[in-house]
Amino acid sequence: MPPKIPTLPQASDWRRVLETGMQFTELRRSQARAIVSDLVAQGHLARDQMTSAVDEVLEMSRRRSEELRRLVQNEVQRQLGSLGLATKADLVALERRLTRANRESKKAGAKKTEASKSKKSSSKKAAPKASPKAG
């Protein structure tokens, strides 16, 4: 089970506003410190809560960024699927099939070559018929 992340006090709407703005970017620690410092200055947080608040803001930002990335990735895959475009997995499977078919055709070609060589060598061993000479 993942470690429990400490939560910020739910006293005001600042958290909702912060989450809304963070949905689209992942914050750096310096940015999170600046946000938390502003909250402390406004009286929304106690100074002794700064470290845990910065960590929580960073974690919220990371989660939101990851959530947005997943959402976009799923939508792109859905749209590409509806267009009928080949996926990376489709191309890998096709490449495997072509490699296998190539390998098999080379083996079959080698067997045919061996068979034709043995036919030629057996026909060379047979004495050629003498053609009647006109004369």
The mean per-residue pLDDT over the stretch 56-61 comes to 87
| Domain boundary assignment for the chain | 14-106
The whole-number average pLDDT for the span 95-121 is 81
Q: Note the pLDDT of residue 74.
A: 86
Band of pLDDT at residue 6, cut at 50, 70 and 90: very low
* Upper half-sphere CA count for residue 5 (Cβ side, 13 Å): 12
Helix residue ranges, H only, the chain: 14-22, 29-41, 50-83, 88-125
Whether pLDDT at 120 is above 70: no
What confidence score (pLDDT) does residue 3 get? 46
CA distances for 131 relative to 92, 127, 128, 134, angstroms: 60, 12, 9, 9
Pick from 46, 56, 55: which is nearest to 15 by CA? 56
Report the mean per-residue pLDDT for the chain.
76
Q: What's the whole-model pTM score?
A: 0.45
pLDDT of 86 strictly over 50: yes
Confidence of residue 73 (pLDDT cuts 50, 70, 90): confident
Judged by average pLDDT, the poorest of 6-15, 31-40, 74-83, 125-134 is 6-15
Q: How far is CA 70 from the centre of its chain?
A: 11
Residue-level pLDDT at 98: 96
